[in-house]
Each structure stands twice: as C-alpha cells, then as structure tokens.
Structure 1
C-alpha cells in the first residue's frame, strides 16, 4: 500500500446529516448539496460539482417533464429501471443507446447537457422501485447546444478497479460545432462532459484497496488543488464500509461521503473496502 497523502484534507459528510425530502409517497431523496427545499450555505457546491442526490422512486411514478438549462446532468442507476424522455427526440426503441428513447438499468449512465434549454422526464415505468444517483455539474460555459448520451459500464470492470465514466470534452471550452457534434471525450469509452471533471466508479470486495488517480493524470486542465468527492451509495443494507487514504478516522459507511481537497492531479487516493460485503464507490473529481 502506498503512503497516505499527507497534504490531503478530508472532511466527512455523514448520510444522516444530508438534506432529505419525501414527495407524495413516490420519491425519497437525500441531498448532499442544497437543492429544492433544502438549503445550507455550507453545502452549495464542491468545485464544479453542484448536486448529488440519492433518489428512490416508487413503481409507476417519476419526475414529469421539466426544463433544465446551463447544467451538466447525469443519472447513475444503482438498482431498478428508469425511463428517460426529452424534448429533442421522439420515442425510439427500448434498449437503444445514444440519442434515442432509453430505459436504463443498473450499470447505465444517462447524461444531459442542458445548455440553452431542454425538457425531459424521468419515469419508473416498472413494478419495482428504482434507486439512482442524480448528479449535476456546472459547465465551463453557458449557452451550450443541448445534447445527451447514454452508456453502459461493465460490472466486471468495476470489480477490477475504478472505471472512468465521464471525462472532459477533448476539444475543450472553445469547441467548434463540429467538435461538439463529434463529442470526443478525453478518455476513450467515457461520456464527454463540458467541465474540468472526471467521474469514476468501482465495486470493491472486502480487504481490497482501489486507487483513484486524481484528475486521471494529464486528462484535466486544473492540476493543483482539485476537489474530489467520494460517495458510498446505500446499496448493501448497511453492510459495506470503506476507509480513505489509510486513515483510521476516515471511515465511510453507506450513504456517507467525503470532501477531499488540496490534492493534485497524479495523486493516488486509496479506497479500502473494510465492510462485510463489497462496496460500491463513486468518485466525482473536479477543478
């Protein structure tokens, strides 16, 4: 095991301290950052990370059509099914990835660039609840062309190490319309985001340590003092647990998160699974 990152500052965000809302019996939502009716000026954003909601939506319910603009919005499906429709396309074939109607399952990530304005709905059309993370990041510029992507990420790959999910659009903030349409990410086989931001996910078996390469090395523009948020979703009935950076006083249980600051691109942040069962861990790494 490598040495801990002595320069890293780590602050815990306990699950029980998050904002919480229930809506009409169909939605239960935990808010890491201020959102809707939950406001805490200490928790407005972390770098370009603006929203991290852990949502459960009851069967045959969901979010009706609503607008977004000037935000990068993505859903990470933990369990169940979630159907996405938006104002840009007509309904297409179920299971089709890319720019078509899509019913998402575990392992899928759906990403929307709100840009100048887009309206979408997220509905659970199944007979079982759906559990997912809804995450927003602040884009590097406003007024972008609305767009979206859907991609599936392998469970087996996540058990081997952290799998990159999102990485910056390779063409950067001054991308031409053609480069926007090409949507080439800095890291191959990831979803491109309009931010100096990388997302990763791993499934760590007990007594195993994964290492997150801060900033994915040379992928990001901002190399110093990055902001890395670690989140452990509530997926294993409270039986999963992780230790960060080899520190005995930095233990995350399900629903907990950690603000890791003062780290630099290329630092290796250790995440060790110390619970009874494997731990799913989400990494949100921003400028």
Structure 2
C-alpha cells in the first residue's frame, strides 16, 4: 500500500458531533444533521445521510415509528436489540428468528447487521429488552437511487474472525441495479457475494485491526461493483468501544489520526485505490468504512 497523494482527508471530531440525551434512556451522537440537531455543513456525504452512534439503556427503546424512502441499517457493537415490524405478524417473531431467512428476525446481537428498505412505507420498533445491559449500535441511513421501492428487511451475521483478518464487506449495491424487476428485488442478490444488497451506489465494510496492525480498504469494493468510479466519497468511523484506548491512522498521515468517536471525510479517491488504515492505539480498533457515490 502506498500513500494516496490525491486524497483529501478532513477529520470529524467526536466532540464536534451533535449530541442528544433523552430521558436518561438514550444517548446519541450525530455525525450528520438529525432530529433536533441541524448543521448545514453536515447534511449528507454522497448518498450517506445519517450516522448515529447510539446507546439505549436496558428495558428501553424506540416505539413503533414509520420510515419511507431511505435505506436504514443497524450495526450492533454490544448488547442486544429487539426488532418488531409491520411486515411480521404479532407472535411470529420467535419463529422468524429460528428460521433465519435473513428477511425477518427478532433479536439482534453483536455481529449482526439489520437492513431496512423503507420504500413506500414501513413501521417498526426497536427495543432493548435486556434487564440490565445497554445496547450500543450504529444507526446509518443512505439515500436510495430512487423512491417508491418495495419495503424489505434483511439481516445477516458477520464473522468476528473474518473482521480480524481484513476488512469484511457488509453492504453492496443490488446486482440488478436501478431498474430491477420485482422478481430481482425479491431475489435480493448483491454485487458482492455474502453482503446485504442496498439500493444505492454504496459499499460498507468493517474490520477489527489489532494493535500495530494495518488493513487496506479497496475503494469501490472491487472491479465492477460501483457505478461511479471517480472521486468517490469515503467516510471512516472509529466507534467508541474501547474506553478511549483505540486509535487509527489513515493513509500513513500524521495529521489523519482518529480517536474513538472520530470520523473522517475522504474525497478525491477512485475505485481501485487502496486506503491504508493502521491501528496505533493500545488495543484493537473496530473500523467502519462507508464508501459512497
């Protein structure tokens, strides 16, 4: 891996994010404008629209609420989050969990990613039903390539060992593209095998880099994955999981070091570029990459 001299990197410091605390049960940091937090400088980055780092206290959560025309996904960092939605009959949650078809589910845990296409409209709730443990997760939204899509859910578990070996692809564009038929939508085949399909020119990855280790993120997810190959927008986020002991350095630059809770806007990169990410803290660093048009 070599330094990407054409890349521009601007840090988004944790302390500069929006913050909301609701009744003691929710603590939420907002990278982009969301709900009561608004900053016209931070409304979206390519098709990336929301990146919230949330902690929900035990026996609390989000009551049933609607979504439409957004691609919404949750990345569980610790704890468990129980999901119920308007597409799943009441009382059928446990059966859906056991069947594990990836489109209906009941309870998410670390390693799980749950994905929602809001489309023409859907309603769901998300609750932490633990008696004593908080749940810590990332809630991320992307803008779909077109509105009026059929609502859908997917969930998939991603292996911890694989994340420690290198960046693991989590999401990639729906293989059938913008003009997918209903059958192709139902088949839900993603450009990258083993990933969740998203209706956007968007790739998500995650890796757990051991102290002193180094991973490379291949911009665009690989040959033929994304439509826009020039001047992509890549956002790197370092969640707050290690009590402040994790740190990473991007592209071998001394002025591009991220502490826990920090992120970075990376522009000017092209599909096929390899972005170096080094773990320079005391402990391993869990790194999320959001690679957008």
TM range (shorter): over 0.9
Aligned-partner SS, 1:34: coil
Of residues 274-283 and 119-128 in structure 1, the stretch that sits farther from structure 2 once superposed is 119-128
Contact 1:96-1:102 at 8 Å conserved across structures: no
Aligned: 1:104 with 2:108: yes
Gaps of 5+ in 2: none
Paired position in structure 2 for 1:92:
93
Paired position in structure 2 for 1:271:
277
Aligned-partner SS, 1:106: coil
- Cα deviation for residue 217 of structure 1 reads 2.3
Contact 2:53-2:138 at 8 Å conserved across structures: yes
- Cα deviation for residue 95 of structure 1 reads 5.2
- Cα deviation for residue 78 of structure 1 reads 0.1
Aligned-partner SS, 1:215: coil
Paired position in structure 1 for 2:146:
141
Contact 1:168-1:186 at 8 Å conserved across structures: yes
Aligned-partner SS, 1:159: helix
Aligned: 1:211 with 2:216: yes
Paired position in structure 1 for 2:15:
16
Q: Deviations over 1:161-200 (max 9, x none)?
A: 0000000000000000000000000000000000000000
Q: Deviations over 1:215-251 (max 9, x none)?
A: 0122101000000000000000000000000001100
From 126, 129, 139, the equivalent of 1:125 is 129
Aligned-partner SS, 2:255: coil
- Cα deviation for residue 3 of structure 1 reads 1.8
Q: Deviations over 1:65-94 (max 9, x none)?
A: 000000000000000000111101123224
TM-score, structure 2 normalization: 0.96
Paired position in structure 2 for 1:231:
237
Contact 1:84-1:120 at 8 Å conserved across structures: yes
Aligned: 1:183 with 2:177: no
Aligned: 1:221 with 2:220: no
Aligned: 1:116 with 2:93: no
How large is the RMSD of aligned CA atoms in angstroms? 0.8
Gaps of 5+ in 1: none
- Cα deviation for residue 256 of structure 1 reads 0.2
Contact 2:84-2:93 at 8 Å conserved across structures: no
Q: How does 1:225-264 map to 2 (within 5 A)?
A: 225-264=231-270
Aligned-partner SS, 2:45: coil
Paired position in structure 2 for 1:201:
206
TM-score, structure 1 normalization: 0.98
Q: Deviations over 1:53-75 (max 9, x none)?
A: 00000000000000000000000
The number of aligned residues is 286
Contact 1:233-1:255 at 8 Å conserved across structures: yes
- Cα deviation for residue 205 of structure 1 reads 0.4
